[in-house]
A and B are shown apart, each in its own frame.
Chain A
């Protein structure tokens, strides 16, 4: 069975979603259980593969339908994708557990269909990460995209227009990717990543205009999908209007998987030499990334809506990741890959904490933070950990990724990026300090006086311990612990996973 783990982690959620579609009569508890069971199975398979990859020290290949690549489709799980697969299924599992109350609150009807889409989204993301075929990646990209449209459309009030815009941008991104694949295919005749990399390393493709157009289209498509500045405008509205569970699932994972795809295309299909010698846009990309980091954080600072604030933090974090990947040195690459894992967990943690606070207070602006330390001490504590990690305080994982990224920036002499990282970190510190000040010392009376909203008033009346339910608290605490754990084991992660995945020639 262990040999089939690579495919099982993708098809288990697919089977679950098919059964969940028909599971209406069984009630929501059965649906909840089934979802958790399938994603736990997926996580187990991902962990088994991770162990296999680390022990063997080489990638695991799985040939679909027993066809040898490049004729057939293969799954390739190397050190990079194994880590990300565990992160995806782990985050999805925690969100699934967390969803018990919030999903029912957001979906008074058709909860089982909501869960079916949840499982499909996980399957799509896992499949995108595991595949070794550029066209298969497109199909799975569309699966994750379509299921995320359904999940986001279930959001609050005016989510439909935000979802529509997301659909338009998502389709543009995916279609650019597809056209890019077309350009690569017409020049090489292949779709398998390993095969493509062999063919593209031939000297005649070094100066080929068509290959360059193909690469440009693919990268532009992925940037649109991952909301790199200035193509981020669709994201804040779509994510901030989403239901709590949807936001916890989509916000940490969708963009990170797109970053992973970018790394795959850059370093597996193309090569370090091609990206940094032939294309040589890295300076420009790093400026974009720096702008994303600084402007994202500053915009986040100016938001009143908590979830919108967190979404702008993602915009900034995408800047860190992109910058790191394009620095063209080991430290930058290590920082970018490590930050995919770290940022996935941080974003999940922040969204979960804020979701719990919104669930209890019913307020989604920063007023909700008033006096949270008295009322929800555990949630607030975990929020503090996540905030410390985003700002970059040791020993949490956010510190280490920033450390690597800064080191990479200094080595490459990209002072703009270094400055952007530092400024973004300071802005994040100011932002979280303001929030935490409200959380510690917030006078609830003031909040009522200033805002006069009924919800704030109601919250003020209930000043007593009012912690989130256990199903929300448990995943939250686990994520907080994971932030700490990932920080402590940074060396191991870098040594056993990231070092192995370093692209040749870096």
Chain B
């Protein structure tokens, strides 16, 4: 029982990331409405970010900003701080995400104007004309 508990506790973050990843992918591929596809894309991307940030967590560690002892010496014990590298990667990836989101929304507005709809099947019909 303890083993099972430990197993769940040590993996649930990854499970959540994977589940969200596939929910997002479902939204992007299967949904017919383009806005829903974009929302799917946001979920899809954040799922990956969640996975990355999960990598950086260390038990018993705090935020990766150095602490100083009273005589101004930094405390440099690596196990005391969370892993900063995934945080850096994710900062970059969040920015990339919002950039793609902006472009997608701009295209969406244009699609509405040109085709008069944002439902995929109606757009395809409109294009066939």
Q: Which residues of A pack against B, CB within 8 Å? A: 135, 138-139, 142, 146, 149-150, 153, 157-158, 160-161, 163-164, 167-168, 171-172, 175, 178-179, 182, 185-186, 191
Q: Which residues of A contact B103 (CB under 8 A)?
A: 146, 149-150, 167
Q: Is the CB of B37 within 8 A of A179?
A: no
Asked if B82 is at the interface (CB within 8 A of a chain A CB), the reply is: no
**Complex formed: what's the CA distance from A72 to B115 in Å?**
48
Q: Is the CB of A139 within 8 A of B115?
A: no
Q: Is the CB of B107 within 8 A of A149?
A: yes
Q: Is the CB of B37 within 8 A of A182?
A: no
Asked if B25 is at the interface (CB within 8 A of a chain A CB), the reply is: yes
Known: A161-B127, A178-B93, A185-B55. A171 touches B45 (CB 8 A): yes
Task: Name the distance in Å between A203's Cβ and chain B's nearest Cβ.
Answer: 23
**Complex formed: what's the CA distance from A158 to B34 in Å?**
16
Known: A171-B45, A182-B48. A160 touches B28 (CB 8 A): no
Known: A161-B111, A161-B115. A182 touches B55 (CB 8 A): yes
Residue in chain B with minimal CB distance to A135: B89
Q: Is the CB of A167 within 8 A of B114?
A: no
Q: Which of A135, A146, A149, A161 has the most CB of B within 10 A?
A: A161
From B41, B85, B96, A168 is in contact (CB under 8 Å) with: B41
Q: Which residues of A contact B51 (CB under 8 A)?
A: 179, 182
Count of A-B contacts judged by CB separation below 8 Å? 69
Q: Is the CB of B55 within 8 A of A186?
A: yes
Q: How large is the interface on B (under 10, 10 to 19, 20 to 34, 35 or more residues)?
A: 20 to 34
From A142, A146, A158, B114 is in contact (CB under 8 Å) with: A158
Question: What per-residue 1/0 map shows which CB atoms of B64-80 lie under 8 Å from chain A?
Answer: 00000000000000000
Q: Is the CB of B96 within 8 A of A164?
A: no
Q: Which residues of A contact B127 (CB under 8 A)?
A: 158, 161
Asked if B104 is at the interface (CB within 8 A of a chain A CB), the reply is: yes
Q: Which residues of A contact B37 (CB under 8 A)?
A: 168
Task: Name the distance in Å between A199's Cβ and chain B's nearest Cβ.
Answer: 15
> Chain A at the B interface: mostly helix, strand, loop or mixed?
helix
Task: Name the distance in Å between B88's Cβ and chain A's nearest Cβ.
Answer: 9
Q: Is the CB of B100 within 8 A of A160?
A: no
**Complex formed: what's the CA distance from A191 to B28 in Å?**
28
Question: What per-residue 1/0 map shows which CB atoms of B38-61 lie under 8 Å from chain A?
Answer: 000100110010011001000000
Q: Which residues of A contact B28 (CB under 8 A)?
A: 168, 171-172
Q: Which residues of A contact B48 (CB under 8 A)?
A: 175, 178-179, 182
Q: Which residues of B pack against A, CB within 8 Å? A: 21, 25, 28-29, 34, 37, 41, 44-45, 48, 51-52, 55, 85-86, 89, 92-93, 96, 99-100, 103-104, 107-108, 110-111, 114-115, 123, 127
Q: Rank and list the top 5 A-B pairs by shortest CB-CB distance, nearest first.
A: A160-B110, A164-B107, A142-B96, A179-B48, A186-B55
Q: Is the CB of A182 within 8 A of B52?
A: yes
Q: Is the CB of B123 within 8 A of A161?
A: yes
**Complex formed: what's the CA distance from A149 to B108 in Å?**
13
Q: Which residues of B contact A161 (CB under 8 A)?
A: 111, 114-115, 123, 127
Residue in chain B with minimal CB distance to A179: B48
Q: Is the CB of A171 within 8 A of B89?
A: no
**Complex formed: what's the CA distance from A138 to B99 in Å?**
14
Q: Which residues of A contact B111 (CB under 8 A)?
A: 160-161, 164
Q: Which residues of A contact B89 (CB under 8 A)?
A: 135, 191
**Complex formed: what's the CA distance from A222 to B55 in Å?**
23
A-B contact pairs, 27 of them (CB 8 A): A135-B92, A142-B96, A142-B99, A142-B100, A146-B99, A146-B100, A146-B103, A149-B103, A149-B107, A153-B110, A158-B115, A160-B110, A161-B114, A164-B34, A164-B111, A167-B100, A167-B103, A168-B28, A168-B37, A171-B41, A171-B100, A172-B29, A175-B44, A182-B51, A182-B52, A185-B55, A191-B89
**Complex formed: what's the CA distance from A191 to B37 in Å?**
31
Residue in chain B with minimal CB distance to A139: B92
**Complex formed: what's the CA distance from A6 to B111 in Å?**
40
Q: Which residues of B contact A139 (CB under 8 A)?
A: 92, 96
Task: Name the distance in Å between B109's Cβ and chain A's nearest Cβ.
Answer: 9
Task: Name the distance in Å between A71's Cβ and chain B's nearest Cβ.
Answer: 10
A150-B103, A168-B28, A172-B28 given; name 11 further pairs at CB < 8 Å. Answer: A135-B92, A160-B110, A160-B111, A164-B34, A167-B103, A171-B28, A172-B25, A179-B21, A185-B55, A185-B86, A186-B55
**Complex formed: what's the CA distance from A178 to B111 in Å?**
29
**Complex formed: what's the CA distance from A146 to B92 in Å?**
15
Residue in chain B with minimal CB distance to A166: B107
**Complex formed: what's the CA distance from A157 to B111 in Å?**
11
Q: Which residues of A contact B34 (CB under 8 A)?
A: 164
Q: Which residues of B contact A142 (CB under 8 A)?
A: 96, 99-100
Residue in chain B with minimal CB distance to A167: B104
Residue in chain B with minimal CB distance to A152: B107
From B21, B25, B86, B107, A167 is in contact (CB under 8 Å) with: B107
Q: Which of A149, A150, A178 has the most CB of B within 10 A?
A: A178
Q: Is the CB of B108 within 8 A of A164?
A: yes
**Complex formed: what's the CA distance from A248 to B94 in Å?**
32
Q: Which residues of B contact A163 (CB under 8 A)?
A: 107
Residue in chain B with minimal CB distance to A160: B110
Residue in chain A with minimal CB distance to B18: A179
Task: Name the distance in Å between A174's Cβ and chain B's nearest Cβ.
Answer: 8
